[in-house]
Each structure stands twice: as C-alpha cells, then as structure tokens.
Amino acid sequence: MRRLCALAVLCAAVPALAADGGPAAAPAAVDPAVAALLKRLDAQSRGVTDLSGEFTQNNRIKIFKQEVRSKGRFYFQRPRRIRWEYLEPDPSTLVLDGNLATLRSPGAPAQTFDLARDAVMRTVFDQLLLWLGSESLSRAEADYDLVAGGTADAPSLTLTPKARSPIARAFARIDLRFDKKLLLSSILLREPGGDEKEIRFTKMEQNAKLPPGAFK
C-alpha cells in the first residue's frame, strides 16, 4: 500500500483533480509560448499508441535532509492500459486495464479497485495517463498558471497552482520536462513545505511492441 500511496500523492496535483470530467474552461488569455508548446505536445501525443520506459523516483524530505530512491518501469497502451511497476527497493505492481486496477505486492493478497466506483483511484490513473500524453495538457490551464521554458529540443512546462485551486495546498509548483521527441523526461513536484518528489524517465520507446502479458 505504501507504493500505491506514493503514486496517489504523485498524481494528486494534476488538473483534473478538481474537475468534473468535462472540458476545462479556457483562460482569458494564453501566453503565445505556452500555446505553441501545447500545440506541439498535442500533435505528438496524437501519434502515441504504446509507450514504455524505466523510471527513477526520488523523494526528498527537507526536514530530515534525506532522499528516498525507488526504481521501476512502466508500460502504457491506449486508451486506458498502464502498468506501473516498482522493482527496487520494494517491489510492487499497479496495473490498470480499462476501469479495473490491481495492486500486487510480494507476500500480500492482490487488491482490486473498480475505478467506476472509486473516484480517488480514477483520478490517480487519469492524471498519470494525462502526463504521459494520453490527453491534452491544455486541461491544466483551468487550475494552473503555465510557463513554457527550455529549448526547442528540450522544452519544459512549469505549472503553478492558482490561488483559488485546492491543488495549491498540496504543491507549490510542478515542472514537466520533455525530450527532443516531446516525450516526458521528468516530473518534479515541489511542496509548499520544501519537500520534493521527482521522477526521471529513461529508455523511453514509443509505439514499440510491448511484452506479452504486460497488463496482467
């Protein structure tokens, strides 16, 4: 359950947390640099059917001046299939297939979640899928101030929660970084108290054949 909670915290600050599932309201004005980057990201994500990669997750706790590191891999397949697997130091696997999520940890019974009835777990997966490119990141404009940065080959998008958003109580800022193929390369979550959670992605492959049974 610890890994499940870690994933839930990771995804808790995404735009749809406070949404009702409908399209987000458009802001009064959009920075041209942000609009251009969102257009590029949307165009890239439309070509994604499958995605796989490895990740390193670092949790930095300011008050204790320590860092907790986990490593794992993931597989994604449109429209709603994902496998998020921690390999070390504590193995566990969280699989989504449609609206059914299953958590498996060594020495413990498998836990299943019906996302049609579990709004919290649905938010966790919906937003993880959003970050991986399953939907338009323009949804973020309803709850965040967006700033585009980086370079043409390594763009970034900084999301600062608007004061009225409940997300501001959980995170002070979210940094999304992309590689030259516009695939997500890292997520950095900064909490108001100074703690940070960072996930770095490596060995990303788009539309490559996934292993048999990846979503079992």
pLDDT of 2 > 50? The answer is: no
What proportion of the chain, given as a percentage, has pLDDT over 90? 51
Q: Tell me, what's the pLDDT at 24?
A: 44
Sheet bearing 173-178, strands edge to edge: 111-114, 100-104, 92-97, 81-88, 66-77, 50-61, 196-206, 184-190, 173-178, 155-161, 144-150
Least confident of 1-5, 40-44, 162-166: 1-5
Q: What mean pLDDT value characterizes the chain?
A: 83
Convert the pLDDT of each residue in 45-65 to its tens digit: 888 899 999 999 998 888 777
- Does the structure show a pLDDT above 70 at 17? no
In a domain, 212, yes or no: no
Q: What is the pTM of this model?
A: 0.80
C-beta separation of 176 from 157 below 8 A: yes
In the structure, what pLDDT confidence band is assigned to residue 21 with cuts at 50, 70 and 90? Answer: very low
Alpha-carbon span 166 to 156, nearest angstrom = 24
- Position 175 pLDDT exceeds 70: yes
CA distances from 4 to 45, 72, 135 (A): 26, 14, 23
- Residue 23: inside a domain: no
Q: What is the pLDDT of residue 39?
A: 94
Q: Is 105 domain-assigned? A: yes
Which band of pLDDT confidence, cut at 50, 70 and 90, is reported for residue 108? very high
Domain tally, the chain: 1
Residue 40, domain member (yes or no): yes
Domain that holds residue 52: 2-16+28-206
**In contact, 116 and 97? CB cutoff 8 Å:** no
* Residue 211 is assigned to a structural domain of this protein: no
- 162 touches 145 (CB < 8 A): yes
CA distance 114 to 116: 5
Indicate whether 214 belongs to any domain. Answer: no
What is the structure's pLDDT at 7? 55
Query: For residues 102, 105, 108 and 109, what is the CA-based torsion angle, rounded to 10 degrees?
Result: 20
| Residue 129 belongs to some domain of the structure | yes
CATH number for the domain including 130? 2.50.20.10
Determine the 3-state secondary structure of 193 from DSSP: coil
State yes or no: pLDDT of 40 exceeds 70. yes
User: Does residue 159 lie in a domain region?
Assistant: yes
